[in-house]
Structure 1
Amino acid sequence: MALIVSFPIGTPPQTQQMVLDTGSQLSWVRCHDKARTKLPPSSFDPSLSSSFSVLPCTHPICKPRIPDYTLPTSCDQNRLCHYSYFYADGTLAEGNLVQEKITFSASQTTPPLTLGCARDSSADEGILGMNLGRLSFASQAKITKFSYCVPVRRSPVTATPPGVFYLGVNPNSGGFQFTDLLTFSQSQRMPNLDPLAYTVGMEGIRIGGKQLNISRSVFRPNAGGSGQTMIDSGTEFTFLVEDAYVKVEEEITRLVGSKMKKGFVYGGALDLCTNSDAVEIGRLVGDLVLVLERGVEIVVEKERVFTDVGSGVRCFSIGRSDLLGVASNIIGNIHQQNLWVEYDLANRRVGFGKADCSKAV
């Protein structure tokens, strides 16, 4: 499940479908290339925009600084800046770095921002990068707050109502509960730490009212950076590092027992699955609560602790970080449903507020 926003790019604006991703930095769109016939018709056509420009590889932004790009930038045969961006799910996007305006209305237009113009990508939609990096849309457009409300996923997914995405002040924020962002110096080079992610302090996990015996240190980065806990709109499920996951697995197995499907793994990510119906599983397991610093709680109601993955199978909506190939705890968008999530960059905090996101407009 991806959170997709329609973004007006260029002059005049061309509406582009982009995945809202608080876990990545560089925003990019699929660019129209007349030599390629397989690109979707909705791809961005630079020739139709008067504000489009391509960056030469001599431009300062083209310097291959980590962590701006996951792979080093380079010069292509036309002396233009070439980028490649690699994502944890295996998606690769590459093309040229360009500058373009976002045109919300005649009176609301950003200055030219650096974007990727992807000529080659396995994804249909672009990415709206919203992390703390200098090249993210939030940083370049000098946005101090943004928020979204994710509606409860329905099956089939096409029946899921639209959610809401705010840039700037959210009129609902008076009732939000906030937890502080943990910040890291970018000079602290730790191999497994993402210093640009929205990192929060998780305190623990409750299942069915029972506090699991997990040390809070498991949810904080260790000397190598492993163990940070991040809020990520671009990851579907929630993932836990091994020391936390084994405790959760132990409790779920104790509660659900013989109803588990042995040896079944969904999507290479979720390995606690069952054929039992949602009501029965909910009754056995109860609510799931992710407890953050400052007493903030993300409550996942019992009916949604297991998620429908099709063919009558339901899987526990938390997976092993090892299966994803990362060394972090990630709170994915499945556990952000029916919540306002506000990223308050000016005050270095994240807020949560209960909502019916299908009616949040």
Structure 2
Amino acid sequence: MSFSLGGSGGSSSPKRTVTLYMDTGSDIVWVPCKPFTCIMCEGKSDPKTTPAPHNLSSSASPVSCQSRACSSVHMSHPSSHLCAMSRCPLDSIEMSECQKYTCPSFYYAYGDGSFVGKLYQDVLEIPMSAPPSLTVENFTFGCAHESLGEPIGVAGFGRGALSLPAQLAAYSPHLGSQFSYCLISHSFDSHRVRQPSPLILGRRVDSPPSLNNENKVKRVSQPQPDDFAYTPMLENTKHPYYYYVGLEAVTVGNRKITAPLNMRTIDRKGNGGMVVDSGTTYTMLPQELYNSVVGEFGKRVKTGYKRAEDVEDKTGLSPCYYTDQPVGGKNNKKVLVPQLVLHFGGNSSVVMPKKNYFYEFTDGKKVKRNVGCMTLMNAGYFPDSGGPAGLLGNYQQQGLEVVYDLLNKRVGFARRKCSSLWDTLG
């Protein structure tokens, strides 16, 4: 997503456009700031299209060590500790008079990367589907001069106090309490032009189209509530920043496979459940469930197609099959694989489009072969490692509008032609 940081746009405080990855698995907004160094970022982005590191505008100001934002980004450490780190004198700490001392640098880690940053505040301006833009004063964000494995920056949409929805909620409860996105299909072809995916702030699924005069935000044409398959969010007091849901079962063809208990519930230690994560590519299932799903899938596919084990070794995907030479010689243009259905808590089921779990492509240099691979991943068996038991990745979310309803503590899924949603936003 793209937005602007900066003041009124004049020469003394110019607006600066930033483009970030939207990530529901992160709870902070951060941008690469000049000078910026990215470690282990080779091949992570196209240098021709990667935005230049951000130049802070003159309207940007560092966040105080006494602020709630500083305490939040430092894992709820008390402001007295943080101000001491910022060299505020003891008498000032005791009198809570450290406003002029800035929040110390913080470390933030992802599953596959990390960064060190400082907190700033500035004017945020988000372009909307119809003018005027949405402007938020004193928006808090991280400014990183060094990162590991992340060259772009992230707009965190998680459940933490510094996420974009949380800060919008302080400005307008409606805007921050409901949002949705609709991911346009992935393409691993670097030469293909990719369309941006619709992101809808203040998504309302229980009212007709209207114009919110207070916030000047046009809402899209709304479907009826039962258009979405809703599942309750699971609360996790140990890891409160993620969107947890319960996966009850997976149906492959006509066989329903019950998910293990740790996929359906969260224990007292905060372990278990499935995180809906727009920042993770593939869905991760615990080893027991993964083996059952892949095993059942393989039973039904191997009678029609030959296994492509050499492709599995090259891609890391499994199982893979040659789909251009069906067993028995019947060459159907349409590749036939069993249907996959995810059954969530709350008696909701989502039928996966085939392309969401079976990636078809051409392999080979001299001899081209049509290949198809399953795109689910084995999360392994780590019963004592903690954290979620599984992840619902963005590859499995493509072609679905996913709505996060924080008011009613639920996540909804509905099949969509995502590119057409742009037509309803004007």
**So what's the TM-score if we normalise by structure 2?**
0.70
Distance 1:309 1:234, change over 3 A: farther
For residue 104 of structure 1, what is the amino acid of its counterpart?
Answer: I
How big is the shift at 1:295?
A: 3.2
The answer as to whether partners of 2:182 and 2:398 remain within 8 angstroms in 1 is: yes
Equivalent position of 2:118 in the other structure: 96
Whole-angstrom CA distance in 2 between matches of 1:147 and 1:282: 32
Per the alignment, residue 222 of structure 2 pairs with: 172
1:1-361 to 2 correspondences below 5 Å: 5-11=1-7, 12=9, 13-33=15-35, 42-46=52-56, 49-63=57-71, 75=85, 80-89=103-112, 91-104=113-126, 108-121=134-147, 122-142=149-169, 143-156=176-189, 158-169=192-203, 170-174=220-224, 175-184=227-236, 186=237, 189=238, 194-215=239-260, 217-257=262-302, 259-261=307-309, 264=312, 270-276=317-323, 283-308=335-360, 311=363, 314-322=372-380, 327-361=388-422
Q: Cα RMSD between the aligned structures?
A: 3.5
Q: Distance in 2 between matches of 1:58 and 1:215?
A: 45
Query: In 2, Cα distance between the equivalents of 1:101 and 1:181?
Result: 32
CA–CA distance in 2 between the matches of 1:222 and 1:178? 22
Where does structure 2 lack aligned partners over 5 or more consecutive residues? Answer: 10-14, 42-46, 88-100, 170-175, 204-219, 365-370
Q: What is the one-letter code of the residue matched to 1:354? A: R
Distance 2:188 2:37 in 1: 38
SS at match of 1:138: helix
State the distance in 1 between where 2:274 and 2:248 align: 10
Output the CA distance in 2 between the equivalents of 1:34 and 1:243. Answer: 43
Answer yes or no: is the 8 Å Cα contact 2:231–2:411 preserved in 1: yes
Note the alpha carbon deviations across 1:179-225, whole angstroms, 9 max, x for none: 221123x3xx4xxxx32211112221011232124345543224443
CA deviation vs aligned residue, 1:98-138 (integer Å, no higher than 9, x gap): 11221136673112122110111232211011111112111
Q: Which residue of 1 aligns with 2:215?
A: none
Match of 1:164, as an amino acid? P
- The alpha carbon displacement at 1:261 in A equals 1.2
Query: CA 1:112/1:80 → structure 2, altered by over 3 Å: closer, same or farther?
Result: same
| 8 Å Cα contact 2:360-2:373 kept in structure 1 | yes
Residues 322 and 161 (structure 1), Cα distance of their counterparts in 2 relative to 1, 3 Å cut:
same
What's the offset of the Cα at 1:229? 0.9
What is the DSSP-based 3-state SS (H/G/I as helix, E as strand, rest coil) of the residue aligned with 1:103? strand
| Deviation for aligned residue 1:19 | 0.7
What is the Cα deviation at residue 288 of structure 1?
A: 1.1
Secondary structure of the 2:270 match is coil
Distance in structure 1 (CA, Å) of the matches to 2:286 and 2:352: 19
The residue identity in structure 2 corresponding to 1:43 is P
**DSSP 3-state at the match of 1:171:** coil
Note closer, same or farther for the CA distance 1:60–1:354 as it changes in structure 2 (3 Å cut).
closer
1:345 alignment partner AA = L
| Change in 2 beyond 3 A, CA 1:210/1:61 | same
Relative to structure 1, the CA distance from residue 323 to residue 234 in structure 2 (aligned partners, 3 Å threshold; closer, same or farther) is: farther
Which structure 1 residue ranges, 5 or more long, are not aligned? none
User: What SS does the corresponding residue of 2:289 show, helix, strand or coil?
Assistant: helix
How many residues align structurally?
343
Question: Matches of 1:87 and 1:76 in 2, distance apart?
Answer: 26
Identify if the C-alpha distance between structure 1 residues 206 and 15 changes in structure 2 by more than 3 Å, giving closer, same or farther.
Answer: same
CA distances 1:298-338 after superposition (whole Å, capped 9, x unpaired): 22223442225774654311101239996421111111111
Shift of 1:348: 1.1
Residue 135 of structure 2 aligns to a residue in which SS? coil
Letter in 1 for 2:140: T
